[in-house]
Structure 1
């Protein structure tokens, strides 16, 4: 029997999908033109690429196995002759197509009684057996190129960048595949321009900075998701900022103006009289300056000082006398 795709990969027809993949990777390591010293490396790499493209696809493999098991069908179609069933079938198809094209037959390219069984063959074996295989065989002499996969990463930056923007050098460890199809971690340092107004969780697209293409294909894109540094006092939701600030009991009771150091600088805020713990003050459009600006929410936390001196103790005693009617547990 003529050499076939199974022979090209050095496997049997009973090989599992995992065995097919392992065989391909092993041969790719040996014959990849970038690293191989074999004289026929390019031709061998081309052959195993074509073989793997067919055998790694369940439908293509099923179709290919059928052709191996029914060589007479291709033999009859070609009018006999040819020990290599695949190349004979492809050549016969190609010659017929070229002949028809020269004759101006755009519908199919075949004329005359020599191809009377053409439609019957396609009806029995499915259109992929003829037209699809022609495309495959006519492309055997070329390696296909594939675009690299898009990749995703995330970085954490200071919230101030949302208001002013910044250009930063970042180093990422990105999972990818090497020239042999093996997984590895790639360390990549990039200069990233972060525009102001980026919301929490938004992405920046870096064109052609993703996984490299195969056989000269275009590289994929890299998407970097922006997250802002947050803590117990600060959190960001979209373009809105929630900021916990501490105030004194007299500021809460008397209603005073205070100065707050926000992520976008200092602002003066009026505390309403008799403010209670946990009250939120909304500063409109003072959040992230996006296309639709966010708001800054100040969450008020009343902090009571310790009574550490005699004078401070007396102050609390006087406060207790002044509010002797107040019982916080009566509610």
Structure 2
């Protein structure tokens, strides 16, 4: 017994349209005559194309399912069967009285509707006509989009860059087997890209099938975090070390930031972790982010006798202070 279209694609009758398409693509990669080493690859590819052409079309699939459920009415020349060169064996009239394979109660009300679209005279049968059509023109599919992430220094967000990057992208080869593809591209990254935004590279994704165009490659931007810097959307948080006297007395200091050198005033009696906001100094996107200076108080080591005495004097001056009183 010959396989039906579902068997050819290796799917169940309950398969969704996405599952039908996925099964076709997998088999096309395996049996396409340009890449397959199977001796009967061309014959199998024709059967695969016929099966997909039928099952991917809702109207054709509905009719095909009806024929599967009523094999007594379509034994000679249905989608899954074969007809002789003269059309349908034994069909003598429209009453279904002597036709081979047609029951006494067969309903032929849809006869012209069912076969009229296949051209005049039924020739070598529908299966043969499907095969001829798909031999001449195989269905093509657009390749799938692919996604990758790259990690950049924060300077790129402020100035932009054009650089060559090499990506290792998981994909499938022409045989349908998973592999990692190395792809080297020259990418222009404009300034103002927020973390999580994507750059679309047209037709740099997975290759199409049967001449279909390639998919797109989407590169997601991430910025490299360091012990001093992190990014949140368009906002940048930058850890700045200050001395105890700068924190206590309040002084103006000069700080090197991603935007260049800036002068800021430390408020008097600043505590550890306090944030100073520099408005619109974050990533310069359409809506600029802010730059937050996160203050970290660093205490020098007492390595000389004079430095030790300085800490002792400091302790005497603040003898009333107990950091653990709370």
User: TM-score scaled by structure 2?
Assistant: 0.73
C-alpha separation in 1, matches of 2:194 and 2:6: 55
From 163, 169, 185, give the equivalent of 1:168. 163
From 40, 61, 77, give the equivalent of 1:84. 77
From 296, 320, 323, give the equivalent of 1:325. 320
Count matched residues: 285
From 301, 304, 312, give the equivalent of 2:299. 304
Deviations 1:108-147, CA, capped at 9 Å, x for gaps: xxxxxxx97129x99xxxxxxx59x97x977651321111
8 Å Cα contact 2:279/2:289 also seen in 1: yes
8 Å Cα contact 2:11/2:23 also seen in 1: no
8 Å Cα contact 1:28/1:45 also seen in 2: no
8 Å Cα contact 1:200/1:239 also seen in 2: yes
Where 2:261 maps in the other structure, the secondary structure is: strand
Where 2:199 maps in the other structure, the secondary structure is: strand
C-alpha separation in 2, matches of 1:192 and 1:22: 34
Matched, 1:225 2:220: yes
Q: Which residue of 2 aligns with 1:150?
A: 145
Where 1:294 maps in the other structure, the secondary structure is: coil
From 238, 256, 259, give the equivalent of 2:254. 259
Q: Where in structure 2 are there 5+ consecutive unaligned residues?
A: 88-106, 119-125
Deviations 1:22-49, CA, capped at 9 Å, x for gaps: 99967864x4232357898556423223
- CA separation of 1:50 and 1:308: change in aligned 2, threshold 3 A: same
- CA separation of 1:47 and 1:273: change in aligned 2, threshold 3 A: same
Q: Which residue of 1 aligns with 2:174?
A: 179
Q: Which residue of 2 aligns with 1:49?
A: 49
Does 179-188 or 304-313 show the bigger shift? 179-188
User: Which structure is higher in helix share?
Assistant: 1
- CA separation of 1:49 and 1:181: change in aligned 2, threshold 3 A: farther
1:125-136 equivalent positions in 2, closer than 5 A:
none
User: TM-score scaled by structure 1?
Assistant: 0.72
Does 179-188 or 161-170 show the bigger shift? 179-188
From 105, 109, 117, give the equivalent of 2:109. 117
- CA separation of 1:214 and 1:10: change in aligned 2, threshold 3 A: closer
8 Å Cα contact 1:8/1:51 also seen in 2: no
8 Å Cα contact 2:35/2:175 also seen in 1: no
From 235, 241, 246, give the equivalent of 1:246. 241
1:255-294 equivalent positions in 2, closer than 5 A:
255-294=250-289
Q: Which residue of 1 aligns with 2:203?
A: 208
Does 172-181 or 196-205 show the bigger shift? 172-181
Deviations 1:244-284, CA, capped at 9 Å, x for gaps: 11100111111111111212222111111111111100000
Does 180-189 or 144-153 show the bigger shift? 180-189
